[in-house]
């Protein structure tokens, strides 16, 4: 695939806004592990190799086990690998990423309330939204594995 625009040079203020979202997420109560799992799962759904590569490496760097990373795409069938809280996060990630299929369901939201406050659910949703934006930037600009975005 031929490389397209660089958001850094073509839309630097947009990149600055996206970095602002990342700075917000860095201050939230969501753990680094949860954030990376969100990023990996959304990136898998969106087919963003650039982001999958970055976030699997980040997850490894944060101490995540390879077995868990390898099983993210099959989390529903990976009994005993992910906690109930993580499973709810994956469900939120999938429903928000595939918003066109009905969005965040009442059932998932109610299940999330068993583990998270409304503020934490909002933070999780913002984490999902943010990686979806990054996926769209990477795919639209045809970023290649190993390239630098910012």
86-145 tens-digit pLDDT: 999 999 999 999 999 999 999 999 999 999 999 999 999 999 999 999 999 999 988 777
CATH of the domain at 45: 1.20.1290.10
- Whether 1 is in a domain gets the answer no
Predicted TM-score (pTM) of the model is 0.92
DSSP string, 88-105: HHHHHHHHHHTGGGT-S-
30-40 tens-digit pLDDT: 999 999 999 99
- Alpha carbon distance 130, 7 (integer Å): 15
- Whether 128 is in a domain gets the answer yes
Q: Contact, 19 vs 135, CB < 8 A? A: no
- Alpha carbon distance 82, 75 (integer Å): 7
- Whether 136 is in a domain gets the answer yes
Number of domains comprising the chain: 1
- Whether 3 is in a domain gets the answer no
Residue 96: give the domain boundaries: 31-141
- Whether 19 is in a domain gets the answer no
Nearest 5°: the CA angle 133, 108, 24 is: 35
Q: Identify the residue whose tokens are 């970095």.
A: 19
């Amino acid at each position: 695939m031929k490389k397209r625009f660089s958001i850094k040079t073509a839309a630097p203020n947009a990149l600055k806004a996206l970095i602002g979202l990342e700075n917000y997420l860095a201050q939230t109560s969501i753990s680094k592990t949860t954030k990376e799992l969100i990023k990996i799962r959304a990136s898998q759904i969106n087919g963003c190799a650039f982001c999958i590569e970055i976030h699997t490496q980040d997850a490894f760097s944060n101490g995540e086990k390879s077995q868990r990373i390898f099983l993210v795409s099959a989390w529903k069938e990976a009994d005993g690998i992910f906690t109930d809280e993580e499973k709810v996060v994956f469900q939120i990630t999938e429903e928000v990423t595939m918003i066109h299929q009905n969005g965040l369901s009442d059932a998932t939201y109610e299940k999330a309330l068993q583990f998270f406050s409304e503020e934490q659910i909002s933070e999780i949703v913002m984490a999902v939204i943010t990686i979806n934006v990054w996926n769209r930037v990477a795919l639209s600009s045809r970023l290649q594995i190993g390239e630098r975005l910012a």
